[in-house]
Amino acid sequence: MLGSLFTLATIAVSDTTPAPAFTVRVDERRHEVILRLGPFPLPCQEQEDEHAEGHEGMDHGHGPQLPSYRFAWPVSGWARGFRVEISDPAGKPLSRRLLHHVNLSHLDRRSLTFPMFEKIMAAGQETDAVMLPKTVGVWIAQGTEMALSSMWTNETGEDLEGVVMELVLPYLPPNTVPRPTEVRPFSMDVGFRPGLTAGFDLDTGRVEFSREFEVAVDGRLLGIGGHMHDYGYAIELRDGETGKVLVPLKGKLDPDGKLLGVSRKVLGATGPGLRLRAGRRYVVVAKYHNTTGRRLKLGAMAAMAGIFTPDRPELWPALDKNDPVNVAELEALGQNGWVTVPDAPAKSRVPKPH
């Protein structure tokens, strides 16, 4: 049985526009946290000109002006994956291409690569469900301040009504034996600019984008995936000191260059994973082949994301909430408004059946 912990019917984002409903539920039998957004209308994507298509020209101002939702995490445990389901109110599945991205952020913990809050998970239209083995998990304590944000695009040619998204996160309870190894999210966005869009223009032909980064602590990368846009055919993690390709990922494209998916690598299933060292330079390189014959404004993005286990979690740096990078990213997260979901009374939670 599902226990509804927090419920938001409609809270105004402005004087005239109500926020879509948002609920947080816990299924204690299945050990799942379910975040439900919607239903909400999704108008046909406005294009800048008759030739624009897909992600071209998309910025955070496009699509419906959905707010970000701030809420308290409902149960202590180790998150071990996620799946995204998009449907109409009757439960009929809708195209995953409607989703540009959805992010779940831990507002009280620093990220591995930037001095800002941690993104627990990020999924795009090409992201399949993720499930970690029961031996590892991302610890989230009950009451942790979290935020959910999303961006949408509608290429169907018609307005849609009643779009619903459910983000389902399985978790391991605190009494799990043996105790799982704690892991943290790893993410590196090539186009990251604090408080601004991570998209960039895509020239014609074959183009590469890259960015160097360092990690905050020593540890091992256990698994990794990627996020790109249409015409993106490869993304790689390289050693910045030697140039060696450490992790190659491939984009799956249809004959027209539309992105269908990005491959993943499991690095820690049968071995120790890929060691990353604090202070060492690493590089993410994204490869595109724009076959349209024209420059696509903000037509590209490139990021790698995965799971990382620190050698010494106690050395993880604390989040400085006043750091300019964190402040800018928090402001950007709430640029379409914030909705704070009130805590429900403890008695509203349905206990796990015996």
- Provide the domain limits for residue 226: 183-316
The answer to the question of residue 286 being in a domain is: yes
Q: CA nearest 138: which of 321, 24, 306?
A: 306
87 shares a domain with 12 = yes
Query: What is the pTM (predicted TM-score) of this model?
Result: 0.79
Amino acid 233: pLDDT: 97
Residues 175 and 249 occupy one common structural domain = no
Q: Do 85 and 166 form a contact (C-beta atoms < 8 A)?
A: yes
* 125 and 55 assigned to the same domain: yes
Residue 220 falls inside a structural domain: yes
Q: Are residues 110 and 221 in the same domain?
A: no
Segment holding 81, helix H or strand E: strand 81-87
Residues listed for the chain: 354
Say yes or no: 28 and 125 in one domain: yes
Distance (Å, whole) CA 58 – CA 52: 10
Which CATH number characterizes residue 190's domain?
Answer: 2.60.120.230
- DSSP category for residue 129: P
Distance, CA of 247 to CA of 214 (rounded, Å): 16
- With beta carbons less than 8 A apart as the criterion, state whether 192 and 117 touch: no
Question: Considering the domain boundaries, does residue 354 fall inside one?
Answer: no
Supply the DSSP string of 36-66, one letter for each residue. Answer: EEEEEEEPPPP-SSTT--TTTT--TTSS---
- The verdict on 17 and 149 lying in the same domain is yes
Is 4 among the domain residues?
yes
Whether residue 353 is contained in a domain is answered as no
- Same domain? 161 vs 286: no
Query: At a CB cut-off of 8 Å and minimum separation 6, what does 151 contact?
Result: 60, 63, 66, 99, 100, 101, 102
CB-count exposure of residue 75 (10 Å: 0-12, 13-18, 19+): buried
Residue 150 and residue 90 share a domain: yes
188 in the same domain as 116 = no
Residues 137 and 195 in one domain: no
Residue 75 domain flag: yes
Distance of CA 271 to the CA centre of its chain: 26
Dist. CA 123–CA 279, nearest whole Å: 28
Q: Is residue 27 part of a domain?
A: yes
Take residue 289 and report the two structure tokens written for it. 């082949």
- The pLDDT assigned to 96 comes to 85
Q: What are phi and psi of 96, to 5 degrees?
A: -70, -20
Token couple for 151:
């961006």
Q: What is the pLDDT of residue 133?
A: 86
**Could you tell me if 98 and 143 lie in one domain?**
yes
Which residues in the chain land under pLDDT 50? 1-16, 48-52, 54-62, 345-354
329 in the same domain as 312: no
Residue with tokens 């895509």: 202
| pLDDT on residue 150 | 92
Within a domain: 119: yes
- Number of domains the chain contains: 2
- The pLDDT assigned to 274 comes to 95
pLDDT reported for residue 6: 39
